[in-house]
Amino acid sequence: MWTFTLKRLFHLIPILFGVSLITFLLMSLTPGDYYTTLSQNPQISPEKVAQLRAQWHLDRPWYVQYLFWLKGALQGNFGYSMAYKIDASELIFGRLWNTFILSFCATVVAWLVAVPLGIWAAVKKDSWADRFCSLMAFVGLSIPELLLALLALMFAASTGWFPIGGAQSALYDLMPPAEQFRNRLHHLILPTLVLAASELAGIMRQMRSNLLDTLRAEFVTSARAKGLAEGWVVYKHALRNAINPLLTIFGYSLAALLSGAFVVENVMAWPGLGRLTMEALFAKDYQLVVASVVMATGLLVAGNFIADLLLAWSDPRIRLK
């Protein structure tokens, strides 16, 4: 297992390197930079703009800029945000935590709801419960996250039950700790439900399909022929074999949640990494964009890494191979 883990860790290095290089190249192909807009300010002299460009190596070719950035990144310095006037690392880690919390809560909600519903739909095949779960899956997969986020905002505005935008209230710092926790949770509920909706539908359909296939297997038929109770056959023999393929799609579900989080954060004004990336992109804050994309990629590959470990732990054939 240790050998398997180390191999997977070494695979992450070229992925992060390649993503940072491609992102830097694409950003260099866009016309202008952060100081292009700044140079239009008559109060700032052209000499000052040229000095600032030279300070951050923007007057050099893109590959030289990338080497300077990579050298700093290897030392834990992911550059400087020209728009926010702060180290990119300090800015990103605060937003990264908000994205992680949102994605983690959406993952927990999606899996805790989808797996039992998928099992219920498979066990009650062709019943009203199965049709109800199929309808939920159809609705969840049919409505785009962008539209669902807009509908959630309309619902929050019309009912006043949920706050609109932000991760906390304006008076958050003046609240006692228990009230701060409730306030953060209140702001988190609606974005979490929006983000979890489509993922929940996909996992539920996959769980139902896997369990139905497993229930038709010969070893399940043998277990029933021995006189075992149906509940024992389903939950003891069939469920573990049916849930293994779900571990494979766990990494893909994290990828979908991360891309969905970028949409939800921008529509619902959640102060996460996706919103920060879009703000940096519009401001042409190159170093912040590259650092944000690398951090987002880090979350994605970490999710795939966890999925690989779970699958190897569940199926010894994977780690032996």
**Measured between alpha carbons, how far is 252 from 163 in angstroms, rounded to an integer?**
30
| Other beta carbons less than 10 A from residue 316's beta carbon | 10
Global pTM reads 0.76
Classified as helix, coil or strand, 97 is helix
Q: Give 201-222 pLDDT, tens digit per residue.
A: 888 888 888 888 877 777 777 7
Residues 6+ apart with CB under 8 A from 222: none
Tens digit of each residue's pLDDT (9 = 90 or more) over 53-81: 787 777 788 888 888 888 888 887 787 88
Distance CA 197, CA 272 (A): 19
Adjacent-strand bridge partners of 80 = 87
**Domains (range + CATH), the chain:** 89-320 (1.10.3720.10)
What's the full length of the chain, in residues? Answer: 321
Q: Residue 165's closest CA among 62, 275, 14? A: 275
Share of the chain above pLDDT 90, in %: 0
Helix, coil or strand: residue 144: coil
Between CA 305 and CA 309, with CA 307 as vertex, the angle to 5 degrees is: 70
The rounded distance, in Å, linking the Cα atoms of 215 and 51 is 70
Which residues are within 8 A (CB) of 182 and not within 5 positions of it... i.e. 6 or more apart? none
Spatial distance between the Cα atoms of 306 and 107, rounded to a whole number of angstroms: 13
